[in-house]
Every structure is written in C-alpha cells, then in structure tokens.
Amino acid sequence: MSAQLAPLSETRGYVGGKRTAAEREASVSPAYLRECLSYDAETGNFTWKHWPLSHFKSERYRRAWNMLHAGKPAGVPMTDGRIVINLDKGKWLAHRVAWAIQTGAWPVIAIDHIDRHHANNAFANLRECTLQQNQFNRAANKGAGTEAKGVCFDRRTGRYKAAMSLNWKTINLGRFDTIAEASRAYQEAAEKYHGEFANHEGIIP
C-alpha cells in the first residue's frame, strides 16, 4: 500500500494525528485523492475508484483490493453527523476531501455546511470560511430554554435575553418582554454583523 497518511482535523481536514498542519496537508495531494475516490458534486457522495498499481506492493494486492472495494460507497457517519473516509489508516473529513477534489486545493481554514446538515456534502452546500463564520451558522442552542437562536429566558428578571457572538465575544442585545421581540433583535444584529453566515434557524417571527 502507499505511505500512511496522517488523519485530518476540522481546521486542517484530519481527525487525530500529531503532525503539524503543514505536514498533514503536504502528505496528500488533491490529485492523489482523485486517484482514490470518485466524488459526485451534486449528491456529495463518494465511491472508491479502481486503484492503480502504484498504490500497492504487488499486482495481487491491487486485484484483491479493487475486487473488494472499487465501485462501492466510501465514508461512514460519525456521531455528530459528519462523514469520515478511512484512507491509508487515516480518517479524513469528507467535506474537506470534497473541497480538495473539486477545487484542487485544501481549504485554508474551515468548510461550512450551508444548510447545517453535516452529512450533506454536495458542493453547492459547502463554502470556505473562518472558524468564527462556521460558528455563526451553527444551530440554535437547545440548552437555552427557547427555540429561538440567540435568545434565552432570564429567570432573574423574568424576561427574554438576546445575545450574539462577535469576534469570539458575547454581545448582549438587551432583555425583552417576549421571545418575538428578543428574536427580532438577534436577527437584525446577525444580519448586520454575520452577513451571509447569519443563521435564522429557530427565529420566532
């Protein structure tokens, strides 16, 4: 088989591993990924290709591997819904692999799933982003006590508190008598400061 590749993290495409980001990304090229995997940009699904002899010690190993894997789906879901692909003893995040195959380069920092469904790796659902922008588009906090993103119930005052994250700091937007008022305050602030990454999931009209 080919040389072992380090697994990838959310910011650099791997899950686990001890090498630096530069070393991990330098260990595999998009061209190598294209030799191994077929990526359907419309569905986001991966299948194993027939691997060439250069990936193996002998023709016998090549025939055995291709007979077992070629043409079959690649990738398994993790507990958080993201898909990982086991390749050369490493676990590679499928959305980052999709970006590398489609664009010819690894993402600089992170990849955001526009619809927030981590298993949907269709290329139209992926966009390059910073870690903070990725956080902007996360789902509403289920532990906040309301269904509105950016809104929680303040037991001390008996009112609804609106807050947002900006530059890794929490910005208080005020306290309101109703969820709808607090939600509107959050929505207006998110549209202004989060831009295209503003997530209105759970917003109360």
Q: Give the domain ranges of the chain.
A: 21-109, 134-197
pLDDT in tens, 37-60: 999 999 999 999 999 999 899 999
The answer to whether the pTM exceeds 0.85 is: no
Q: How far apart are CA 173 and CA 135, in angstroms?
A: 18
Question: With contact defined as beta carbons under 8 Å apart, do 101 and 80 qualify?
Answer: no
- Residue 12 or residue 90, greater confidence: 90
Distance from the first to the final alpha carbon of the chain: 56
Question: With contact defined as beta carbons under 8 Å apart, do 62 and 142 qualify?
Answer: no
Q: Is 13 left (phi over 0), alpha (psi -120 to 50) or beta?
A: left
pLDDT score recorded for residue 199: 83
pLDDT score recorded for residue 5: 34
Residue matched to tokens 């002899």? 53
User: Average pLDDT for residues 1-19, to the nearest whole number?
Assistant: 46
Tokens of 182: 């607090």
Residue matched to tokens 């380090």? 6
134-197: which CATH topology?
A: GCC-box Binding Domain (3.30.730)
For residue 16, what are the β-bridge partners?
A: none
pLDDT in tens, 99-158: 999 999 999 889 999 999 999 999 999 999 999 998 888 877 765 667 788 898 888 999
pLDDT in tens, 149-184: 889 888 899 999 999 988 888 999 999 999 999 999
Q: How far apart are CA 17 and CA 69, in angstroms?
A: 25
